[in-house]
Amino acid sequence: MFKLPDLPYDAAALEPHMSAATLNTHHGKHHAAYIKNMNAALAERSDPPDTVEGVVQLAVRENNKKLFNNAAQSWNHGFFWESLTPTPQGDPQGDLKLALEKAFGSIADFREQFKTQGAGHFASGWVWLVSDKSGVVKLVDLHDADTPIVEIGTTPLLVCDVWEHAYYIDYKNERPRFLAAFIEQLANWRFAEAQYDAARKGEGGWKFPT
Ligand code: MN3
């Protein structure tokens, strides 16, 4: 059975950009429920996978939408907590900076595209920065629980949750202000840079803690 991973920082550490009230509900209620539901579904099976990545792949193979939704949401939220940091990190550095400039023109243009894509995403989902094995980066917005880890050769670098539960306590309906806070203040570029290195080395990158 899988456990809810601890947040990598104190629940109040991201204030004022993301409140402790948001994190306590989002992590302690929403994320916990996805893990509980995934565990309940796995308890009925004789051969449960021993990683959340494995559960996501199993759900895809079996076309089991309920298991997929709970397993993918368990994984996506674990990755989302790592994508946030209480220590503002300015701009991405090194090879990731160069890749973003190549794909988007400049880091400022990348941030604008991120905000536009996140604001334009209809209803619930996630905005992902991903890389292929050759180091080409792009933004993809995916619906509901969908996750790039089911795509062979794609490695996520950073993600922002755009479900309303991610921002409604702090920003009400103003998703663009939440997206700006994420990409300008909260984004964990050191984590994204490490993921980018893993992508190009053909390593898996971040794994859900077991
Ligand atoms: Mn969420």
pLDDT in tens, 161-177: 999 999 999 999 999 99
Whether 171 maps to a domain, the answer reads yes
Q: Are residues 104 and 191 in the same domain?
A: yes
Whether 3 maps to a domain, the answer reads no
Q: Are residues 31 and 104 in the same domain?
A: no
Ligand 1 mean position, distance from CA 98 (Å): 30
* pLDDT number for residue 35: 98
80 near 31, Cβ under 8 Å?
no
| CATH number, residue 114 | 3.55.40.20
Ligand 1 mean position, distance from CA 136 (Å): 27
> In the chain, which stretches have pLDDT less than 70?
none
Ligand 1 mean position, distance from CA 77 (Å): 6
Q: Are residues 49 and 103 in the same domain?
A: no
Give CA–CA dist 153/22, Å, rounded.
Answer: 33
159 near 72, Cβ under 8 Å?
no
Ligand 1 mean position, distance from CA 102 (Å): 30
Whether 128 maps to a domain, the answer reads yes
* pLDDT number for residue 40: 97
Ligand 1 mean position, distance from CA 31 (Å): 7
Ligand 1 mean position, distance from CA 105 (Å): 30
Ligand 1 mean position, distance from CA 172 (Å): 15
Tens digits of residue pLDDT in 71-84: 999 999 999 999 99
Q: Are residues 103 and 62 in the same domain?
A: no
183 near 160, Cβ under 8 Å?
yes
* pLDDT number for residue 28: 98
Q: Are residues 24 and 62 in the same domain?
A: yes
Per-residue tokens: 122: 């209809």
Ligand 1 mean position, distance from CA 165 (Å): 6
Whether 210 maps to a domain, the answer reads no
Ligand 1 mean position, distance from CA 206 (Å): 18
Please state the domain count of the chain.
2
Strand partners, 126: 142, 161
Q: Which residues constitute the domain of residue 70?
A: 20-82
Q: Are residues 159 and 131 in the same domain?
A: yes
Per-residue tokens: 207: 């794994």
Whether 25 maps to a domain, the answer reads yes
Q: Are residues 129 and 183 in the same domain?
A: yes
Ligand 1 mean position, distance from CA 166 (Å): 5
Whether 87 maps to a domain, the answer reads no
Whether 121 maps to a domain, the answer reads yes
Q: Is the pTM of this model over 0.85?
A: yes
Ligand 1 mean position, distance from CA 117 (Å): 18
Q: Are residues 105 and 177 in the same domain?
A: yes
Whether 208 maps to a domain, the answer reads no
Per-residue tokens: 66: 């309920």
Side-chain-side CA neighbours of 94 within 13 Å: the count stands at: 11
Ligand 1 mean position, distance from CA 163 (Å): 6
Q: Are residues 108 and 145 in the same domain?
A: yes
* pLDDT number for residue 204: 84
Q: Are residues 112 and 72 in the same domain?
A: no
